[in-house]
Amino acid sequence: MRKIDMTRGPIMGNILLFALPIVAGNILQYLYTTVDTLVIGNYCDYKALAAVGTSSQPVEVLLCIFLGIGTGVSILVSQHAGAGRKRYLTDACQTAVSLVYYFGIPVSVAGWFLAPFLLGVMKVPPEVRDNALLYTRLVLCGAVGNIGYNMNAGILRGVGDSRASLYFLAVSCVINILLDMIFVADMGMGVGGVALATGIAMFFSWIVSILYIRKKYPELKLPWLPGAVKGSELTKILGIGLPIGLNNSLFSFGHMAMQGLVNAQGAVIMAGWSVAGRVTGIANMAITGMSSAATTFSGQNYGAGNIRRLKDGQIRIPALSGLVTLGFGLIFLMIRIPILKFFTDEAPVLDFAERFVAVMLLCQWMYAVYNSISCIVNGTGRVRYTTVINLMMLWAVRIPAAYLIAAEFGGRYIMYSFPISFGFGMLSMIAYYLISPSWKRLMAKAQPKPSGKTVDSFSYIL
């Protein structure tokens, strides 16, 4: 399978070729999480639907710090690949495998005992609590598979292979859908069946990803089991990934605070919030693909010392991401009502979900621009500023705005806190480009373009 070398060729062409398989993978991932929602919505009641929606937050809190470390692995691998450091590339991959086991198993154990506390923090209503606790605990039992898959996907993105994850997710999607129908529709296992299906599907994706890397990239020498950890690579991985992971974890705590505010409004708004997320997640797919491409582009070119090319992409990539996200948003804005009716026919739930979706689809382009710039900066290893801004965007802007809106206008309007925070994040990252001394020094190293250089065939997009 062809790898994409981000250090040469048309910038926007490579970005799109790299991002498209990730977007397709996101569609598959969306499909099987949507199947979860559809199965629960059709074979259970809206309280079960609310339980699955609210349970995603404590799962994120316990997993996202390690997914951030996986991002650190991806950035380091992309830098080694760009610089041609093969031995260090192998060391980084082997260290990443060890981290999967050393982190994944404790997370599963800790998650079982911490789940009641986290749900208590979120003020989950009594009628939803039992199902939410069951779902959270069962999903976290599969933490090793989740962390392992995402770590391997990060390795593949770092070497320029974004297509493989699409196939892994295809396997996971088929397994998840089949198990959903068996466990819930046939066996009547309810929320527990959905959680088991999700966990088993993730384990299969992890196993398939290991087999793929060992066959297609034998030079990486990816082991099945944990082994010796390379101290120098561990330090680099944690130096980049731990701030991102801690940031993600604190960000997820913020989501829990938001979810707590939502939960305080009752099961109807909880269900509406969950259903609306199914639609807004569609428009969000392009953001993930473009951001992953931006990270790999930045890491490979920074590792290769190709600052001229990095400078060329720092504006065009975020701008394209914003335009694509806005396009997705406008399309789904027009068809949001029939899509929402697939999930529920409860009128109060639909009323809230429709408003939520309209607000989000019209403002997510700002988050796309913010996230792409953050990923470009992170790809060079400069993660401190992005970490601070990400936390401020949630804790200093979105959450206070949401509580203020709820107090003044009622909980049915708290979604308006999102465009406020997205705008803050986007303007803060644009400001980093303009005023950061560190970034200015890096861009000053860019060599002038040689005369007669071929124009990027995708530059007309911007």
Mean pLDDT, residues 261-289 taken together: 81
Cα dihedral: 187, 191, 195, 198 (round 10): 70
pLDDT (tens digit per residue) in 413-458: 999 999 999 999 999 999 999 999 999 999 999 877 655 444 343 3
pLDDT (tens digit per residue) in 118-160: 788 777 878 888 888 888 888 888 888 888 988 898 899 888 8
Among 172, 234, 152, which Cα is nearest to 32's?
A: 172
Mean pLDDT, residues 302-308 taken together: 93
Cα torsion angle, 155, 314, 397, 262, sign: negative
pLDDT score recorded for residue 33 = 67
CA–CA separation, 372 and 35 (whole Å)? 29
pLDDT score recorded for residue 453 = 45
- Geometric angle at alpha carbon 318, from 313 and 322, rounded to 5°: 150
pLDDT (tens digit per residue) in 385-394: 998 998 899 8
Reported in sequence order, the residue ranges of 243-285 that DSSP labels E, i.e. its strands, are: none
pLDDT score recorded for residue 209 = 92
Instruction: Say if CB 65 and CB 245 are below 8 A apart.
Output: yes
pLDDT (tens digit per residue) in 20-72: 888 887 777 777 666 767 777 777 766 777 777 777 767 777 777 777 888 88
pLDDT score recorded for residue 435 = 94
Percent of the chain with pLDDT over 90: 28
Buried b / exposed e over 137-171, threshold 16 CB at 10 Å, is bbbbbbbbbbbbbbbbbbbbbbbbbbbbbbbbbbb
Buried b / exposed e over 62-79, threshold 16 CB at 10 Å, is bbbbbbbbbbbbbbbbbb
- 50: which residues sit within 8 A by CB, 6+ positions away? 128, 267, 270, 271, 274
Inform me whether the pLDDT recorded for 90 exceeds 60. yes
Residue 126, classed as helix, strand or coil, is helix
pLDDT (tens digit per residue) in 227-251: 777 888 888 888 888 888 877 777 6
pLDDT score recorded for residue 60 = 73
State the amino acid at position 214 in one-letter form.
R
- pLDDT tier for residue 2 given thresholds of 50, 70 and 90: low
Domain boundaries, the chain: 11-446
CA–CA separation, 398 and 261 (whole Å)? 12
Total-model pTM? 0.76
